[in-house]
Structures are given as structure tokens and as C-alpha cells.
Amino acid sequence: MIRYISLLLFIGFSWGADSTPKSDFSVMTWNIWHGGREDGEKIGPQKVIKVIKNSRTDIIAMQETYGSGELISEALGFNFLERGTNVSIMSRFPIIEDISVYHEFKCVGAIIELPNKTPLAFYSIWLPYDAEIWEVGTREGKSKEELLAACASSASDLEKILTLAKAKLAESNYADAPIIIAGDFNSMSHLDYTEDAIDQYGYVIEWPTSKYIAAAGFTDSYREQHPIVNRKLGRTWSPRFPNQQQDRIDFIYYSNNSMKSVKSMIYDKPVEPHSLLNKSVAFPSDHAALVTLFLHE
């Protein structure tokens, strides 16, 4: 279902005190954790709304939407496309076509018209995993092969999504459109688990999920802007549970020579409570949000 809602005036993106580079649009990917309702049926989604408003993001790839999508998109004044219960897209800019592929729980796609009238092929995805390796103690004594097996489904599903997406775009009028694929990959990156960062992760692992999408011509926007690995600063899992494995499992990938990332950041600052009914200021999800600014040349 595509719902068209009046657009907000584009007001840019807030990055704090440092200078903001010129950009055409910004993208967020965020798993909001059970519809954002872990902090309460009403207060939780309001916290999610506040985080997004504070970020001033233009396009959102959301996971674990779980019934909160219409409430959030209406509060933002964004166009909204949902598919199934899990994945959804929210956009300040017009959504002009549904280009979804694969399983409705794992992938939703849209053609979004950017401010310069360029069509953008945008996908929000959620990839599965095969074993718990993030909770406290779950990696103790595990070999590299066991860790790879725990994320094997992520790679196989991504391959199917990319194959189907490429075929769908080739059959449409958008074969040459820039593409962004963003979401919760439930797998780490080979750009993180390197020899240079073995003191941070304890393993050198060529994660097949990230290897596959890189080989398909996509760029990891966060690692492009942060080439030096810092596990603490780069992690997206989990701001609510600091004793769990702090990994980067949420990504914004892009593929097009006419588009360039200019800045990328992890967004996980606590938000003030919506009302006196809830005094918690914790970040409202077990995933941090990832935000990237893009320039379309």
C-alpha cells in the first residue's frame, strides 16, 4: 500500500556543531525493535518519531515496523510504503512506484523521486540469521566456521534479493537508476573483521554477505566515510545492551557513479521522554540508527 501524504519543507540535516557538507538527501536505516513499543505502547513510538525528527532524515528504511508505520509516517508527514509486517519505507519525497521483490517479510522496494527529479531505486531489507551469536557468552569457544554458519542465511537471502531486484529494474524504465539497499543484515562485514582490527574482534573473517554485495558493485557508505575500524564507534548492535557483542550489522549500500556519500554516522542518542508518564531517556531500540548524506552529481 502506498499512501501519499503532504511533504514537509526540506530543512536539511543536523549533525551537531561541526559543519554540514552540501547534500541532496539523507538516508536512515533503523530496526525500531518490535514497532518501537518496548518502552510502552504509546510512549515507545513517540520516542521513535522524536529520534527521526531530530535527525531530519529524508528517506528511511525501517525494519520491525510491526504496526507502527502509519503512526510514524503521519507524524513525520512522509510518504509511506509497507510490505508485510516487518519492512517499510518512509520518504519526504514522492514514492512513484513499488518495485518490491522476494519475500514480503524481508524486502520492500520503491522508486523515489529525488528533489532534482532523479528516480532512486530504494530497498529496505531484513536478512535472517541461523544462530544467536550476540548475546553474552554465545561466542565463547566458537570457531570462525561456527560464526560464519550462524550468518549463512543472510548471504543466501541477499543473493536472491539482489538477483530479483536487478531483473525487475532491467524490465522497467529504471534500469539506470541509482540504487540504495539499506537494512538490518544480521551479519557483520569483512571490512570490519580485518587483520588490522583483530585486537578489537578476535577474528579475521571474510563475511560472505558483505563480500557478495561489494562484488555486486555496491559501496558500504559508512565504511567509505570511516575507513579506520573502530568497533565501539561503528557498532549498530546494541545501544541498549552494552554487554552484548558490539557489532555493525545495519548497513546503507549504494551503487551508482552519479551518486556519492558525503557523510555517515551512527545515531543512538537517548531522547527525552514524551511525557511525565515515562521518565526513561534510553534510546528506544536495540539497534542504533545509521544515517548517510548523499550528493547526486
Q: Output the furthest CA–CA distance in the chain (Å, rounded).
A: 54
Q: What per-residue confidence (pLDDT) applies to 271?
A: 78
| CATH code, domain carrying 62 | 3.60.10.10
Instruction: Phi first, then psi: give them for residue 245, nearest 5 degrees.
Output: -60, 125
**pLDDT, tens only, 182-227:** 999 999 999 999 999 999 999 999 999 999 999 999 999 999 999 9
Place of cell 565463547: 140
pLDDT-above-90 percentage for the chain: 85
Residue-by-residue DSSP string for 26-58? EEEEEE-SGGGGGG-TTHHHHHHHHHHHHHT-S
pLDDT band of 6, cuts 50, 70, 90: very low
Q: What per-residue confidence (pLDDT) applies to 44?
A: 95
pLDDT-above-70 percentage for the chain: 89
pLDDT band of 181, cuts 50, 70, 90: very high
State yes or no: pLDDT of 12 exceeds 80: no
Element (H, E) at 119: strand 119-126
Q: How many structural domains are present in the chain?
A: 1
pLDDT band of 296, cuts 50, 70, 90: confident
Closest CA to 84 of 167, 1, 16: 1
Q: Is the pTM of this model over 0.75?
A: yes
The grid coordinates listed for 185 are 543484515
Outline where DSSP puts E strands in the chain: 2-3, 25-31, 59-63, 79-83, 87-91, 95-98, 107-113, 119-126, 179-184, 219-220, 250-255, 259-267, 289-296
Number of neighbouring beta carbons within 10 Å of residue 296: 16
Place of cell 570457531: 143
**pLDDT, tens only, 25-69:** 999 999 999 999 999 999 999 999 999 999 999 999 999 999 999
- Give the range of the structural domain holding residue 234, as residue numbers without chain letter: 2-296
